[in-house]
Amino acid sequence: MRASQFLIATLKESPSDAVVTSHQLMLRAGMIRKLASGLYTWLPFGLRTLRKVEKIVREEMDAAGALELLMPAVQPGELWEESGRWFEYGGELMRIKDRHNRDFCIGPTHEEVITDLARNELNSYRQLPVNFYQVQTKFRDETRPRFGVMRAREFLMKDAYSFHANEESLNDTYERMHQAYTNIFTRLGLDFRPVNADTGSIGGAVSHEFHVLASSGEDDIAFSNQSSYAANVELAEAVAPSTERPTASQELSEVSTPDQHSIEDVSQFLNLSAQQVLKTLIVEGELSEKEQEQGKKPALVALVLRGDHELNELKAEKLAGIANPLTFAQEEDIVAALGCKPGSIGPCQMSIEIIVDRSAAVVADFACGANKDGVHLTGANWGRDANIGRIEDVRNVVEGDASPDGEGTLEIKRGIEVGHIFQLGDKYSKALNATVLDENGKQKTMLMGCYGIGVSRVVAAAIEQNFDDRGILWPQALAPFQVTIVLIDAHKSEEVVERGEALYQSLLALGYDVLLDDRDKKTSPGVKFADSELMGTPHRVVISSRGLKSGLVEYKARQDQKNDAIEVPCDDIFELVKSKLAH
């Protein structure tokens, strides 16, 4: 591509609404422009990278035996009513009506449509397994779109759906997809982790998220420093401490702690570390349907954690006897049941059920609320002063915790979710009655898996992981242009033009993406250099009349932090660039 024929839409300053690096750089390098909140136009330069991600995704999906198709972005509401999600899905589902006043939505995902297709087209177990995929625009009406294309409302996604006659087949395809995803992100040149994940609202059992590690990520990922164990912090198990609880060495005593409510206040006031202070959270207990109908009030349950630990609501609400979704008790109910306000609650002399976190259960001589306003206890001990009740895992893991697989300790980093694979089971096939005939001629509900990659988000994630103060540092596989040839003094020197043209043509002939910066003399060399760095082209050749006088041209790799370029004889430059591009 010749720069003079291309849209180079670089900006010196970034629009004020861009806060994360990838968003700023995508705007500044001329990759995208915002149309409205969460809606972006991909300019020619940005589209090149988007297409490269798509290409690698397609190649690996095809290689893994998946079949590409393309479904409509607009979907009939009836299908969503059939699956039940018309009512379950919240405001993220963009609902529209056509001119006949019929309900439609703009697809945030395509389980319903593909399952409808499968029930019509698949009749026999002998047609299974199959795995269909598409690369397509999705729409989710996010409450708070942000970070550019990283959390946009309209985005490009590769989604795949597999159909199976049995669990074994589903597992098999799931593993193949796991491997295909690993291949994809490896080829893209990204630092990523597959992590065990919560299945969320989509339902089903087994699930992995693929996260690109970057400080701007929205999820906390816990991973072992010694093994391949990685999990979303929401799901990572906090293993029981291997140490025994020390024996009590202090006497229980009451301390007046006026206006000291938070763990921070109390530990400072008592001059104790937060680890020695236990916090007690009061949540609502579970009610049976019958009790709910009778309008009974739920019993309260006390959750006891170490002061420096955070409650994991997901873990808590899964416990028997606790309301799901987790509901914190109202202040008046707490006062009625315990006789004091939140902020002074503790497990000693507790009248309601107590669930103690594994780590909190091995603390001795702890401080806690005294169940009297403005009073705390110190030197408290389980058994002697408080009933330990049940012990459960109800906290988030923290750095340094033992890895649940027994190997190494946990580190926590932010991750950007770029891929997600699920074993859906029969959730949708059952709802939509998608069956095939089995070996015995009997109707059998198919099992399903689904596998997504946020194609547009991958582009942003790649930038979050690869940039410096001058701009983007594209991994080879994603670079919109692999080589930039900068011409200097082209208007004065025929030889500059000829040499540049020759190199340009021979690299093009090999199929490389080359940008020939032939912009006229109004574009100064400094602008060309700055643009090539902002745009992140991995390799740059500079051809100038000054260099050609000694028969030399200049080569520089974008990754080289040092500013010094290599001067090479101009007859050697083609071979040099070719060898650099080869790997």
Partner RNA sequence: CGGAACAUAGCGCAGCCUGGUAGCGCAUCUGCUUUGGGAGCAGAGGGUCGGGGGUUCGAAUCCCUCUGUUCCGACCA
Per-residue binding string, RNA, 33-72, x by CB under 7 A, is ---xxx----------------------------------
In this complex, which beta carbon is closest to RNA, that of residue 176 or of residue 376?
376
Chain-centroid distance, C-alpha 329:
32
Considering only 77, 108, 217, 343, the residue that binds RNA (CB under 7 A) is 343
Closest CB to RNA among residues 129, 536: 536
- Contact string 507-526 vs RNA (x = CB under 7 A): --------------xx-xxx
Of 120, 113, 155, nearest in space to 136 by CA: 155
359 makes contact with RNA (CB under 7 A): no
The verdict on 430 binding RNA (CB under 7 A) reads no
* Nearest distance from C-beta of residue 241 to RNA, angstroms: 20
Specify burial of residue 470 (Cβ count, 10 A radius: 0-12, 13-18, 19+): middle
Residue 345 interacts with RNA (CB under 7 A)?
yes
Does 342 sit near RNA (CB under 7 A)?
yes
Q: Does 555 bind RNA (CB under 7 A)?
A: no
191: contact with RNA by CB under 7 A = no
The C-alpha atoms of residue 11 and residue 7 are separated, in whole angstroms, by 12
User: Comparing C-alpha atoms, which of 203, 149, 183 is closest to residue 461?
Assistant: 149
Q: What one-letter code names the amino acid at 516?
A: L
Does residue 539 contact residue 558 with C-beta atoms inside 8 Å? yes
**Site track for RNA across 469-488, x = CB under 7 A:** -x-----------------x
φ, ψ (nearest 5 deg) of residue 217: -60, 160
- Of the pair 179, 559, the CB lying nearest RNA is at 559
Integer Cα distance of 474 and 467 in angstroms: 8
Instruction: Kindly state whether residue 15 participates in binding RNA, applying the rule CB under 7 A.
Output: yes
* Residue 329 in the binding site for RNA (CB under 7 A): yes
Cβ atoms of residues 21 and 467 within 8 Å: yes
DSSP 329-360: PPHHHHHHHHSS-TTS--SBT--SEEEEETTG
Least separation in angstroms between residue 329's CB and RNA is 6
The secondary structure element, H or E, covering residue 573 is helix 573-582
Q: Does 7 bind RNA (CB under 7 A)?
A: no
Minimal CA–CA distance to 567: which of 553, 548, 581, 582? 553
Among residues 107, 108, 129, 145, which is the contact residue for RNA, using CB under 7 A?
145
> How are beta strands 483-488 and 539-544 bridged, if at all?
parallel
Identify which range of 48-56, 82-90, 123-131, 328-336 contacts RNA by CB under 7 A: 328-336
Report the amino acid identity of residue 276. Q
User: Is residue 147 left, alpha or beta, with left meaning phi > 0 and alpha meaning psi from -120 to 50?
Assistant: left
How far, in Å, CA of 338 to CA of 336, rounded?
6
Measured distance CA(367)–CA(354) in Å, rounded: 16
- From the list 7-15, 115-123, 158-166, 181-189, the region that binds RNA by CB under 7 A is 7-15
Q: Which of 53, 364, 544, 558 binds RNA (CB under 7 A)?
A: 544
> What's the CA gap between 142 and 218, in Å, rounded?
15
Q: Which is nearer to RNA, 128 or 329 (CB)?
A: 329
Count of residues that interact with RNA, criterion CB under 7 A: 64
Q: Is 576 in the site for RNA (CB under 7 A)?
A: no
Binding region for RNA (CB under 7 A): 10-17, 19, 36-38, 143-147, 261-264, 266, 279-283, 310-313, 328-329, 331, 334, 342-345, 369, 396, 470, 488-489, 491, 521-522, 524-527, 529-531, 533-534, 542, 544, 546-547, 554, 556, 563, 565
